[in-house]
């Protein structure tokens, strides 16, 4: 199957963005469980997913025992830290649903960053013994985007941008003077579906360049390098991050 065309959905505001994201999550979960009995999803961090997670927590029809939750990236902090993506997800979703503990695959970010990355990759390799061309195939990877075009913890100019063989790496983020643990581009690009959910006035210019600018610029933004090799790519934006787009509104 060749890579499918990128789809763009522009919605009026943050509540409709969260609703649209939750609906796509439910659709993908249903389709994956119907087709192969489980739904393997990597969640995003930051603030944007909060509202969508809360909506998912009250979705009545998700068989959470058939859902495996992973994290596309994690800050180098313990789960109790306010910066923790796992902690945000626990507070907005995991604490409100009944899901087997073994279905939640947390990055051990309390360890040193390199050990956390290696440990997570080992866990992924055990979970995905059957790979697609040597890469895990997530049913869905949720991503956000920062104002300078980073996604997951793949920041412009950071070492992880060039990683072509490892699944998970510790990445030094100069701008934040910190290390992060992140999926690499090949893992993102071997997903069956990648869903970007982006809000924020400060992202409008980069969203415009990525979605309506040159398709192969000399220095693409990290978010622009996410193109599933044989999967679906869906960008959902609201009228803050998508206000410069000419594309028709939903």
Q: List contacts with ligand 6PG (CB under 6 A).
A: 44-48, 73, 85, 144-146, 150-153, 200
In this structure, the number of other CB atoms found within 10 A of the CB of residue 79 comes to 16
CB of 92 to ligand 6PG, least distance (A): 12
Nearer residue to ligand 6PG within complex by CB, 32 or 84: 84
CB of 33 to ligand 6PG, least distance (A): 25
**CA torsion, ordered 74, 201, 160, 139, to nearest 10 deg:** 60
Cα separation, 199 vs 12, in Å, equals: 11
Nearer residue to ligand 6PG within complex by CB, 61 or 234: 234
E-strand stretches of 32-177: 39-43, 67-71, 73-75, 140-143, 168-173
Nearer residue to ligand 6PG within complex by CB, 85 or 184: 85
Cα separation, 128 vs 247, in Å, equals: 38
Nearer residue to ligand 6PG within complex by CB, 32 or 48: 48
Distance of CA 212 to the CA centre of its chain: 22
CB of 174 to ligand 6PG, least distance (A): 15
Nearer residue to ligand 6PG within complex by CB, 29 or 107: 107
Residue 202 β-bridge partners:
none
Q: Which residue is nearest to ligand 6PG (CB)?
A: 144
Cα separation, 232 vs 228, in Å, equals: 7
Q: Is the separation of the CB atoms in 62 and 26 below 8 Å?
A: yes
CB of 243 to ligand 6PG, least distance (A): 16
CB of 73 to ligand 6PG, least distance (A): 5
């Amino acid at each position: 199957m060749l890579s499918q065309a990128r789809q763009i959905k522009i919605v009026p505001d943050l509540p409709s963005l969260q609703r649209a994201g939750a609906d796509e999550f439910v659709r993908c979960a249903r389709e994956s469980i119907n087709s192969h009995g489980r739904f393997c999803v990597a969640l995003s961090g930051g603030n944007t997913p909060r509202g969508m997670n809360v909506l998912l927590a009250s979705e009545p029809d998700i068989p959470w025992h058939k859902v495996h939750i992973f994290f596309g990236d994690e800050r180098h902090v313990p789960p109790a830290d306010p910066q923790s993506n796992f902690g945000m997800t626990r507070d907005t979703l995991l604490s409100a649903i009944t899901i087997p503990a073994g279905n939640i695959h947390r990055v051990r970010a309390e360890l040193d960053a390199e050990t956390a990355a290696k440990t997570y990759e080992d866990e992924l390799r055990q979970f995905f013994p059957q790979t697609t061309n040597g890469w895990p195939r997530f049913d869905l990877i949720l991503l956000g985007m920062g104002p300078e075009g980073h996604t997951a913890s793949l920041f412009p100019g950071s070492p992880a941008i060039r990683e072509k063989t490892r699944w998970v790496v510790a990445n030094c983020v100069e701008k934040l003077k910190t290390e992060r643990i992140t999926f690499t581009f090949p893992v993102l690009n071997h997903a069956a579906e990648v869903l970007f959910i982006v809000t924020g006035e400060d992202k409008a210019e980069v969203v415009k360049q990525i979605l309506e600018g040159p398709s192969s610029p000399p220095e693409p933004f990290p978010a622009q390098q996410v193109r599933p090799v044989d999967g679906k790519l869906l960008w959902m934006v609201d009228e803050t991050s998508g206000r410069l787009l000419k594309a028709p509104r939903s």
